[in-house]
Amino acid sequence: MATIRLASFVCAFWLCAPFAYSTDSAVEVTAVAEEWPGLTMSDGTGWYWQFISKVYEPHGYKVRPLVTSWSRAVSGVESGHYDILVAEWKEPSMPFVFPYFPIGGEQIWCAKLKSEPKGCVEIAKDATRIVSWVRSMDFGQQFTSQDTKPILVQDTQAGVRLLARGRTDAFIGYRLTILDEIAEAGLSADDFALVKIGEKFSYLAFPQSELGEKLAKIYDLEFRKLYLSGWLHENMIDNEMHRNALLSFGSPNGQEMGLK
């Protein structure tokens, strides 16, 4: 998923710590996630684990990273057995406390053949057209007409191949993954047009409890501090999807954060 500048991050982590504290007196909180390469590794390394520790340790919390299945992570935080769910989409109906600021994000792109005269966004909103996206990526519907009957594919490779054969009119997914699959299939990127149609942000999620509310407030406070101090500028992860989506996330006053 990402190539993390882990060495420089860890160095900056210790150099930028606001103050020292005793780990003996720290309150342990458990952060839980699936294992994502470079982000949440089972050995405790990765951008997300390090960033979460950076946020909470100055406030007297020792973060214990835990890798498990996604379903177990979600149910564990919902029940209060775990304290922090890492990288969940924010939806109003979800039984969690969410902070304002995200921890990651991905830009959503629409691909079509250049020979198609209509624009990608126009195609996606046309209920008479056939649009596809990966089944597990449940955000596709928000970029299409409510009457659209999509073709849900198993992976981006299948979506690109259907598009190239004219079986579909557009494919919604991640830009780099689409381009990789175009190259892998021996197709020419010049035959395709890609347009960014939105972003999807992922967040830390907390139990609906007094502790959950407190942890969410601390996250927003520290995220803002790390931005204003320039720390995020220097330590933003080397992953185009996450970085570009975070760069486009607005601050509470409605202005662009401008993390460049």
Of 127, 129, 101, 102, whose CA–CA distance to 113 is shortest?
129
pLDDT tens per residue, range 168-201: 999 999 888 899 999 999 999 999 999 999 888 8
Per-residue pLDDT of the chain (260 residues; tens, 9 = 90+): 333 322 333 333 333 333 344 446 789 999 999 998 888 999 999 989 999 999 999 999 999 999 999 999 999 999 999 999 999 988 889 999 999 999 888 788 999 999 999 999 899 899 999 999 998 777 678 889 888 889 999 999 999 999 999 999 999 998 888 999 999 999 999 999 999 998 888 899 999 999 999 999 999 999 989 888 878 777 765 655 556 556 556 544 334 443 33
Taking the domains of the chain in order of start, what are their residue ranges?
A: 6-99+206-247, 106-199
Q: Which of 205, 208, 235 is nearest to 101 (CA)?
A: 205
**Structure tokens of 90?**
């924010």
CATH topology identical between 6-99+206-247 and 106-199: yes
- Looking at 99-209, list the stretches that DSSP marks H as alpha helix, in order from N- to C-terminal side: 120-125, 156-164, 175-184
Reply yes or no on domain 6-99+206-247 having CATH 3.40.190.10.
yes
**Other C-beta atoms within 10 Å of 170: how many?**
30
> Are the beta carbons of 219 and 226 closer than 8 angstroms?
no
Helix locations, the chain, DSSP H? 6-16, 47-56, 70-78, 120-125, 156-164, 175-184, 210-228, 231-235, 240-247
Class for domain 106-199, per CATH? alpha beta
